[in-house]
Chain A
Amino acid sequence: MTEGLMISIYVFVLAAFVGVEVISKVPPLLHTPLMSGSNAISGITLVGSLIAAGEGHGGLSVILGFIAVVLATVNVVGGFLVTDRMLKMFRREPQNKNQRA
């Protein structure tokens, strides 16, 4: 087993613990934004997609990479934006209902 792999496994296990600690503290009130926001974070696979699409060999791997870039970008951009749209709506003070037509 290589050293790199060992480090990756450490990272994996520790990240899982951080995940449990951090996520269990999110109240049900915010579960939908949590899902869409964490979902946007999982679009990090875009990093891999970019490299695959830009390798310049041409051929199949670039095409696959290109599709992956499109999908992952939709995931990232759509995910963060929609989460922001939702979180903007959560307010504490009772609002005067001025946004309804």
Chain B
Amino acid sequence: MSLAEPAALPVAASAPRRLHIAGRFTARFKASLPAYLLLLPSLVFLALFTYGAMGRVIIDALYQRATPKAPLRFVGLDNIAAVLADSAFTGAVINNLIYAVGTAIPSIGLALLFALALARTNVVTSALRAALFLPVLIPMVAASALFLFIFLPNVGLLDYYIGRLLPVLPNWLGDPDIALYAIMIITIWKNAGYYMLFFLAGLQAVPEDVMEAAHLDGAGPFMRLRYIILPELKPTFLFVIVIATLNAVTQVDHVFVLTQGGPSNATNLVLFYIYQQAVEHFDVGKASAATLLTLAALMGLTALSFRTMANREGGP
């Protein structure tokens, strides 16, 4: 659109009298045509693969079959009501909340710690940064396959070492009390290094002169962290929190590989629930309804965080 603005203004200004609204519209459209043409290729693909699919989900969410052989019929919001009444869905939402909080806080905390420790660039910190970033480079499915061996009951790597200390060996992925936490450990291990990058970038933006002034005024390391570094990192925090929450909903590859949502739905997350409804129950209506609910929640969250960010930038 910005391309079109300078061209549109002279057209409107040069008109001696008030043009007809229709005329003005065509003039504007003509002026911004090149912009639309430039956008066209990506618009086509967005329409095909994003908006089209979303539209289809909305339509699918409104239809349902009463019995296997019956035709699809319009049911309005019944699918959404059915999803909300399904205890497996509420269970998945609760699991997902625990999972989101339990992975976001530790991985962000670790990421900040790593970034603070490795803020200065030298040979040692570069090597350590690379080492901490390594898990990010491993695909989630491959990482899950590795952890399958680490978590193997009785004979796995973890039990091999921890087993010497504990009287009864935990069945990491087979016990509904532990399985979700085992899954969370993988996520934290994998994401902390990624978030560290954002904090490292954020730390570069902390003004050098302010830090120096604080140093001269006798502010210790903790004071500098509390009153200068953390406030300066606020936008980074907001951004990373949004990313971490989105990851908690959209990254479920390890659930597919390690537990399939089990045992007894203990590791069933919202996205996996949608997958189950769609491909195991073959219930497209319910799957689409659950997708819509998830999308709405994610969009609300993103809008809220962007508004918070915008407010902050607009304010004093």
A, B assembled together: no
